[in-house]
Structure 1
């Protein structure tokens, strides 16, 4: 099969190089955008892994992992043999449908302010032993968590960071915001390799907070949130 035709501008938009910090998440999101925008139609083939790696400016291994995630989620089908390749699923999986772009950006923007600010505040204060222990416990609970439990435990870790900030009125805002985010995240499957990446980012966030490094804690949270934002925009935007 041949690839579906698309406008050059649209092609340049979805195939532009991704950021280095969240290469896997951004690659998954770009591929979802490619499918959802009709750049490659259902039943048609994606560019080769080599071609995608060059366009996105990432390794072939990253592209291969991203395609694997989308295959697991039912968005693409991989075929072997002379006429093999990666093909867009036909029909595509059903999801919650598009949401208001302004609402999505509002909620994501608020999350950046709330959660990055919470991490900075937590890293800027002298944490009591009980607070340090609770944060470490929540962090360890996410490592190796079962897939069905991961999002709940991830949310509890972020709530623990808000609690560690020492700003009581911040906590309900973070909880409400994350509840809305989770409602959207639950409309598409967890991506196992994204969990591995998320765990590594959690390590950096918690380490920076416990070491009392506000700048590093804030930067690590923003980097972490950027990955899930890419996935949300790709699947829901």
Structure 2
């Protein structure tokens, strides 16, 4: 698999080989993750079909079929010509209807999130990171804290994936990417609330400063508080 310059673990999490037994379904799922997490933002182009086929370890026909499926449902737009390609729709299709969400699925996904993300924050705080890794994590935090409402959820997702990357456990990142993609589909069902964003950013600061200070207990606790707050919002809007 080729690795593009500047790629981080968020890119590697969504652009990795799929299972051959379910190649089409897994390719569709991986592309949806790419959109939901915000690795490719609305209006931006996906990598070329040839590159996607190589990264996913599938045929170009499989990639084309997956793109066709998502184009038919409004997630992707195909453009021809010199500046053509496959672009993420802007705006994306309507958010998930809360009435369509299985409460058991919410319990499952949020329960998994409570296991994975505090562990990632703890592991990151226990690591001796390089200066470049520390700077990259701080930059992700500052990008999120200064984000516009339009970009906030995308950059928030990338911050959480940056924390997973900082944990230094490569197989953890795809698990958190999958969880985050499912959570984002639900977050889109209700509006961003400015005061809750302010609170979220206060929690992000506590998480990141604890990680960078090498305080695993504080990083774990701050992440748990953060997840509990967002879970309360989701259950309030979706239940």
Shorter-normalised TM-score: what interval?
A: 0.5 to 0.7
> What is the match of residue 121 of structure 1?
123
Q: Could you tell me how far 1:96 is from its partner in structure 2?
A: 3.4
> What is the match of residue 130 of structure 1?
132
Size of the aligned set, in residue pairs, is 144
Moved over 3 A (4+): none
Q: Could you tell me how far 1:95 is from its partner in structure 2?
A: 4.4
Cα distance in 1 for residues equivalent to 2:195 and 2:146? 12
Cα distance in 1 for residues equivalent to 2:181 and 2:97? 19
Matches within 5 A, 1:1-237: 95-237=97-239
TM-score normalized with structure 2 length: 0.59
Cα distance in 2 for residues equivalent to 1:140 and 1:213? 20
**Structure 1, unaligned runs of 5 or more:** 1-93
Deviation per CA, 1:32-75: give whole Å up to 9, x if none: xxxxxxxxxxxxxxxxxxxxxxxxxxxxxxxxxxxxxxxxxxxx
Q: Could you tell me how far 1:197 is from its partner in structure 2?
A: 0.3
Cα distance in 1 for residues equivalent to 2:97 and 2:124? 37
Q: Could you tell me how far 1:144 is from its partner in structure 2?
A: 2.5
Deviation per CA, 1:63-100: give whole Å up to 9, x if none: xxxxxxxxxxxxxxxxxxxxxxxxxxxxxxx9432521
SS at match of 2:235: helix
Cα distance in 1 for residues equivalent to 2:145 and 2:101? 31
RMSD: 1.2
Cα distance in 1 for residues equivalent to 2:156 and 2:110? 17
**Structure 2, unaligned runs of 5 or more:** 1-95
Larger C-alpha radius of gyration, 1 or 2? 1
Deviation per CA, 1:13-47: give whole Å up to 9, x if none: xxxxxxxxxxxxxxxxxxxxxxxxxxxxxxxxxxx
SS at match of 2:129: coil
Cα distance in 1 for residues equivalent to 2:194 and 2:97? 19
Cα distance in 2 for residues equivalent to 1:172 and 1:234? 28
> What is the match of residue 64 of structure 2?
none
Cα distance in 1 for residues equivalent to 2:164 and 2:100? 30
